[in-house]
Structure 1
């Protein structure tokens, strides 16, 4: 005989294949809903969730039993008798406000009591449902109970809120089930605020069969009048494998709420009748007057359940069982008329029924439930296959036949599209080049004076503003800070001017270098990025605003931030190459101590002179060297050659001439000191500042000169505009080469047209071709559905 685990594994494999088939049917219905009858779609939407729920149950491999019945039908007493301990409250007052789950535990160490509470929002929802229920038609008892719940909740709202704030609930491990009796009684019955706040109780105990993973759900009665309780009961019924239906022996007729319970159980599992999985437990059987009364009442119950085997229609005396085994609560003892329950049952010719009930359920677990599972899964598989066959019957005549020799899918955008794109691409390139020349491209010799393009003028302005801001906001250059540094280390009355000069310059040099290394290049990179964005926007516009254009052009599909970081680094390298020399020349040493620097940095200094584009003619060739040596901008000689060079300053020199001038100047610096001294004016001499004011005046003059050269020389020597133009030209060339060399743009536009992603593209697939493409796609999916249907057994 097949074991339960073997049956589970077999049915799980079947249902997983069926689930794949159902998913394919849903995909088809989304594409061709107009071709599938609404009734067929409705059936598919019912069967798919049902299939999912059964798959979930098989994956968890649990046996779940819903214990249902009207309120006060004796569900809690029945479960107490099953557990052999009066642990669940069954007092005369209403004490069941939510579901209780009893789980089988494998060992005593696994036993646990867990209480989950309603949230504040859920308490508010329950109150609204109670208010709505009171406005409807209710019996006197129902109205009284719901009104009590509503009033008690309002009365204990602050106490209930304390429990609602316990997001993780309450947990208690135990060894003997009696350890949690007081806690559970208090929570569910004695503490009114706590009982109103409880949403779910989970009790794990070895009192259920530990060799099976079993869950009993004690759910609220359907006649509670509260929607949330009814929803909980419905959910338990949808997920249960069996039903223990607690029915008072004295009430053989089936009421409206009871019929509703059975209809829900039946509709969820149409392939398995309620009679195949229900255990009708006739509670309080010892309340009958005599054997005749008992047999007549039992016969009436049998008439309502003709298909239920007699072993599953069981009279039970739960309280008598508790009294018999000496484990009743005080309330149970009060509710028994006398201590002769055993005699009363003997008079009726019955026993307490608990042994028969357990044997019946154990027999169902060990034998019958495998057959129930098979029938349920057979029905699910059959239902989905039936829907699949009907879908195939409807769709295959429309979509299922196509000639493999017809045009292929790629031909939907074949020769005609290629010809159209070839013409469009030539037009796009021409328009792009024209726009680039007018808007982006700079003039020749872009780093020369006045020759940057107006779109790049913002770059120079940003640079000048940042340089001026940094140098006019130096902490070291503030008067108080200059005085502090100047007087530090010496006496206040007689500080050493030379030492003060060195100290100020040392701190000033350090501060400027640090700011230049960290604070300057961001604005330059932002200015260039704005121009790059213009190119990206233009290319996207030329390609009809297709989304993929920008990320493809700028590599933003990887990380556009990496490209921006590379640009910032490029600016920083260019700037520091010449700015460091300028700062060192003007700031690092006092005027009288620069001779060594002039010899070692002659080439760099002459480069700064050669690239100077300011208005002051004295600061051009030879002027910077003279200033650094003597503190004056007066030129060393006024030869005829100087006149020609002055004219050249008005027009930027050619690159070869600049290099030659630097070489000549460096050679002149390298001449023997004696010869050099002979050529210098006799009246030239360097006077060291001999007080604080003179030191500050020398330093401020050097800062002014540094600012001028950073703006009018370093900017051009660094080649910022050339660097920008190179970056822009690289993107421009990339845009054209991506199509001319790699055919990337045609692929992006083809995809957008093919899947109709961009209505701006002025090319449309003919309707006949689009229809063919859809027919072919659906035909392929229909083929897959038929194959999946064949694989499901």
Structure 2
């Protein structure tokens, strides 16, 4: 008899060859569905899925056992006895529906405990399924009570559960002795209710299973849980398992509805193998029977329900007695059992605790029987595939085989020749005309696009996006927050008597730095996105004109390299344009207080004049020459004359009116001080200059003397900065012109790709030739298309026949 490893390798090679045949059949059937019965195609698809599942199991080379049974049938106690350590809770109370996996580890250093938690969304799904189950009226009173408890407990511990759902990587701990992680499991599964409700899966790797084999025991939720997600977990384990350990209470020999469902699922997934070929019926809690005759009669009833299961796989087990016998029970098990009573009961019944017999039976199955089961399963898969392949070949070869040797040159030469070129020439001229008309109406800007109101309606969206971003950035400056302004203002001085001038400078220094940083990193993304939206419109139009053919976008935008690089180039272009005048505006309005801007006005005079020239009032007021210079020098758009004392105002106006009044003032001055060496003309000039200087000093906003006045001046400068960024910098930077240039580049490229490079005709020709796009209004004659398809099918049939012949 071949060993398991030998059988596994032989069947893997065999099934991989079968998979090649199935792939070819799948491709063939996709082209000839009308020639084959739908029922045959459906059977082929089902068998293909079974084949893929078996290949996956063979490549993993694991032995997976589903330990299943109704709730409280003793699965956890059985596994505890198998592991020789009571680490899984088996108390009388309900513990959890958590799926536990026990994996074999090769060495003590490979041992691991890992806990995986449900996500927040999955907890919500479980709660909804619990409510649905309670509303279904299909549950017993006991089941309703238990599900209601889970529902209520979950709601009660929702906050605590949420903390576990945040642990995306779960919990892991290595160990040497399995007792080291016992308290973790008890706490997680049983003692901490919130944690137990949050657990989705527990994985335990231990040397307590056979270390010379890759074995997994799945302790899955009960089939009668009433919760869809739990039932689905049980079904999924059944579909993948190589064997089943079915925990069945000794005193309940009849098979319930959920148990029948389990058998149906197992049969449907593995029709070549009977359940009896791979099931171990473990009759648990045998100590519940006291009378030997009653025990024998009950055992016979179980045998009648499982007639095809060998007696070596129909095993009475008392897991609790085994735990007590070997001195490894938990306190709960000891409270519910007395060693003498267990021994006496088993002796009276004439049996042992059954664990050694169960392990021996499972080991025999692993080393011997499962190789025969695998052989039988693979034989069925291969034979079924050969049968379906033979059926398909018999149906298709008479229809297509003769085309394999036909000469295709004469048919293919004229497939897309002169006639196609003439058709495309006419279509391309129409496409270009339609594209230019659409572009002019939907994209193209008007004359002087950077002037007020000159943006096309599509490009106006870009200006709106710019304005919104400016408003958002300036409204959310961290430096401009009241608390932060106060902190900066008082830093370095006494809180009671801070220096207003120093505070003004400090605030502006940090504000200037923050605004510059935000403008350099955040502003231009909005502009680039707005322009990209327009570019996408052009791409969508070209795709529409070219009948939604593949590769249009990639060809037009060079995206075979990387569209992200192109988008970064656009963002950089906007950034360069903005910073050219945006930096000047920020420096002019924010960098220095009002009283310290003379040097700035001289050094940046040309840039300030440019910003003044491009300023466009939103209420259609005419441009105001020198408006920005006036603001930067005096602090207000319009000086409130009413704030100047009446007498001083009269004196200022008199000095400005003419020299006559100035002379009068000079005479008075000379009479008081004496003429000395100065002439009247000199005194008059001095008076005029003094009055003018006094008037200018009066017009300039006074220097702030406290925190409130500093903040008022800075807020005024921020409002003015926002105004100029929107109504001057936007136009001075030439954003609309830049957009039009980028859009024109895409427009011209669309036409040059065909006019200069002849790429569009190649893409359309390929799509027509291989019938990739039915929207293209160029029809290949039916005879040409039919011949080509029949010849392809004929050649593929040859390959299928060859694979079929070499399959064993």
Q: Which one is further off, 162-171 or 243-252?
A: 162-171
Structure-2 residue corresponding to 1:189:
190
Structure-2 residue corresponding to 1:782:
797
Q: CA deviation at 1:430?
A: 9.4
CA distance in 1, matches of 2:154, 2:90: 21
Relative distance call for 1:393 and 1:458 in structure 2 (3 A) is: farther
Q: Does 1:21 align with 2:36?
A: no
Q: CA deviation at 1:348?
A: 1.1
Structure-1 residue corresponding to 2:162:
161
CA distance in 1, matches of 2:568, 2:327: 83
CA distance in 1, matches of 2:561, 2:162: 50
CA distance in 1, matches of 2:750, 2:266: 68
CA distance in 1, matches of 2:152, 2:242: 38
CA distance in 2, matches of 1:545, 1:288: 76
Any idea what the Cα deviations from partners look like across 1:397-428, whole Å, max 9, x if unmatched?
A: 333332633544x734x347433245457778
Q: CA deviation at 1:342?
A: 1.3
8 A contact 2:415–2:784 mirrored in 1: no
Relative distance call for 1:137 and 1:401 in structure 2 (3 A) is: same
Relative distance call for 1:377 and 1:153 in structure 2 (3 A) is: same
Q: CA deviation at 1:766?
A: 1.2
Q: CA deviation at 1:549?
A: 7.5
Relative distance call for 1:294 and 1:398 in structure 2 (3 A) is: same
SS in 2 for 1:100: strand
Structure-1 residue corresponding to 2:115:
115
Structure-2 residue corresponding to 1:375:
376
Number of residues paired by the alignment?
552
SS in 2 for 1:247: strand
SS in 2 for 1:186: helix
Structure-1 residue corresponding to 2:661:
none
8 A contact 2:416–2:769 mirrored in 1: no
8 A contact 1:399–1:776 mirrored in 2: yes
Q: CA deviation at 1:195?
A: 1.2
CA distance in 2, matches of 1:392, 1:316: 54
Once the two structures are superposed, the pairs formed by residues 621-700 of structure 1 within 5 Å of their partners are none
8 A contact 2:753–2:760 mirrored in 1: no
CA distance in 1, matches of 2:170, 2:552: 53
Q: Cα RMSD (Å) of the superposition? A: 4.2
Q: Does 1:791 align with 2:806?
A: yes
Any idea what the Cα deviations from partners look like across 1:79-129, whole Å, max 9, x if unmatched?
A: 111111111111000113121111111111111111111111111111111
SS in 2 for 1:373: helix
Q: TM-score by structure 1 length?
A: 0.62
Q: CA deviation at 1:752?
A: 3.0
8 A contact 2:404–2:794 mirrored in 1: no
SS in 2 for 1:292: helix
Relative distance call for 1:93 and 1:753 in structure 2 (3 A) is: same
Q: CA deviation at 1:394?
A: 2.6
Relative distance call for 1:93 and 1:731 in structure 2 (3 A) is: closer
Q: Does 1:418 align with 2:417?
A: yes
Q: Does 1:225 align with 2:240?
A: no
Q: Which one is further off, 252-261 or 761-770?
A: 761-770
Structure-1 residue corresponding to 2:784:
769
SS in 1 for 2:248: strand
Structure-1 residue corresponding to 2:86:
86
CA distance in 2, matches of 1:421, 1:390: 41
8 A contact 1:115–1:169 mirrored in 2: yes
Once the two structures are superposed, the pairs formed by residues 99-138 of structure 1 within 5 Å of their partners are 99-135=99-135, 136-138=137-139
CA distance in 2, matches of 1:538, 1:329: 74
Q: Does 1:750 align with 2:765?
A: yes
Q: CA deviation at 1:533?
A: 14
Relative distance call for 1:747 and 1:307 in structure 2 (3 A) is: same
SS in 1 for 2:402: coil
Structure-1 residue corresponding to 2:315:
314
Relative distance call for 1:423 and 1:456 in structure 2 (3 A) is: farther
Gaps of 5+ in 2: 436-443, 452-534, 574-745
Q: CA deviation at 1:338?
A: 6.1
Q: CA deviation at 1:339?
A: 2.7
8 A contact 1:428–1:542 mirrored in 2: no
Bigger-Rg structure (1/2): 1
8 A contact 1:109–1:174 mirrored in 2: yes
SS in 1 for 2:72: coil
8 A contact 2:96–2:197 mirrored in 1: no
SS in 2 for 1:340: helix
Any idea what the Cα deviations from partners look like across 1:280-304, whole Å, max 9, x if unmatched?
A: 1111122222221111111111111
Structure-2 residue corresponding to 1:440:
none
SS in 1 for 2:259: helix
Gaps of 5+ in 1: 437-453, 462-531, 570-726
Relative distance call for 1:429 and 1:456 in structure 2 (3 A) is: farther
SS in 1 for 2:417: helix
Q: TM-score by structure 2 length?
A: 0.61
Structure-2 residue corresponding to 1:236:
237
CA distance in 1, matches of 2:117, 2:309: 38
Structure-1 residue corresponding to 2:700:
none
Relative distance call for 1:424 and 1:459 in structure 2 (3 A) is: farther
8 A contact 1:15–1:381 mirrored in 2: yes
Q: CA deviation at 1:221?
A: 1.0
Q: Does 1:216 align with 2:231?
A: no
CA distance in 2, matches of 1:322, 1:206: 18
Structure-2 residue corresponding to 1:405:
406
8 A contact 1:421–1:746 mirrored in 2: no
CA distance in 1, matches of 2:432, 2:188: 81
